[in-house]
Homo-oligomer: A and B are copies of this chain.
Amino acid sequence: MKRVDVALIVLKFGGTSVGSIERIRNVARMAMAEQQAGNQVVVAVSAMSGETNRLVGLVEDLTQFYNKREYDVVVSAGEQISIGLLATAIESMGQKAKSYLGWQVRFITDGSHSKARIKEVEAFRIQADLDAGAIVIVAGFQGVDSHNNITTLGRGGSDTSAVALAAALKADRCDIYTDVDGVYTTDPRIVTKARKMDRISYDEMLELASLGAKVLQTRSVELAKKYSVPVRVLSSLEPGSGTMLTKEEDTMESVVVSGLAYDKNEAKITILGVPDKPGVAANLLGRLGDANINIDMIVQNVSPAGDATDMTFTVPKADFPQAMKVMEDAVKDVGARQLQGNSDIAKISAVGVGMRSHSGIAQKMFKALADEGINILMISTSEIKISVVIEEKYTELAVRALHDAFELEKDPSDRINA
């Protein structure tokens, strides 16, 4: 139940923020300050930085083919340590605190060990502690399935834990503290004049997150959108108001292009001369699905001669050798003409909810790239994004050129839109 008299705030801190005793004390102070400002405070934390890697290393020293149930048992110990330490730190400073593991809250997940999905969060136990004046510390990244087996949510899962908790508690705000001070128009390491956005819509963030901007885990943004959780991304190291994720209706205006993302972790596979018969495409892609390889972009041209077509798709770079092997057999089986692969590619994406109502964005994008002599290998569009695949070596050049072309360094109201 939402309280009208007092705000409830969920804070989330990653491994770097709790990476040492001194940093844990710092997080304790930040949580206490939020409470002293009159709020009820829940803190979701990751394992101390390095700890998860240490635990994964122990498992992998035993075997590369580990049982995932037992992997989850070992790895989830990391957050157990950090929540107990943070609660201890707060208690030692004279404030009430109580820690909860995933199974104590409880975070009910499906049974997919090492990449489980949250089905339900039971938050009533926490609410009772909050009402009694305690700061509640919750282990991120972990839950239990319906048989009480420990599960983990996959790397970066603590963001999702925090947002799920905020949704279940109907929190007034969910502050995700990271090592950056907000969401930028693009990677500031590439474009020095990249601008921090004050607000961004869930949909835009979703495209940026899934397209390689590593600020928030994609699933956490999906969840925030679904339950309209007011999420704020901000730095635990320097002060600032960060970036607020909001519903589209709540943004001041529909920005044509909000930000640019890039992703160097894909590879491209092209099959030439695919017989243009029903079921052939499904056959080809189905073989990749059977091999547990995800496909991202898919483009297929209309058949030039009427009886065969060319198909291109992208897969994660790590799966590229296996995908090529699977496709070699497939090409023979379906009678396609030729197989080509290229792992030296990058995907550049422009994202913005305003694209819906503005024409000319694609042209502006293609022209900016052409002016720099960058060839476009593949194009894919959705309602609020345009992605192009280019040669990997042009990544930084392309991002800078597009940042200039869309005037992303300027405040949105000062831009000359296409």
Contacts and interface: CB of A to CB of B under 8 A. Distances in A.
A93 to B, nearest CB: 9
A62 B25 contact: yes
B80 A63 contact: no
Copy tally for this chain in the complex stands at 2
Interface residues of A, number: 40
Nearest to A54: B81
A184 interface: no
Interface stretch (A31-39, A98-106, A204-212, A292-300): A98-106
B89 A62 contact: yes
Contact of A148 (B67, B73, B81, B104): B104
Nearest to A91: B67
A58 B78 CA distance: 13
A80 B103 CA distance: 14
Contacts of A85: 58-59, 62, 70, 74
A19 interface: no
Contacts of A70: 84-85, 87-88, 91, 97, 99
Nearest to A96: B67
Nearest to A58: B85
B77 A63 contact: no
A63 B76 CA distance: 24
Interface in A121-156: 148, 150
A377 to B, nearest CB: 43
6 contacts: A63-B89, A67-B88, A70-B85, A70-B87, A73-B84, A74-B84
6 A-B pairs with least C-beta separation? A74-B84, A73-B84, A63-B92, A77-B77, A67-B91, A77-B80
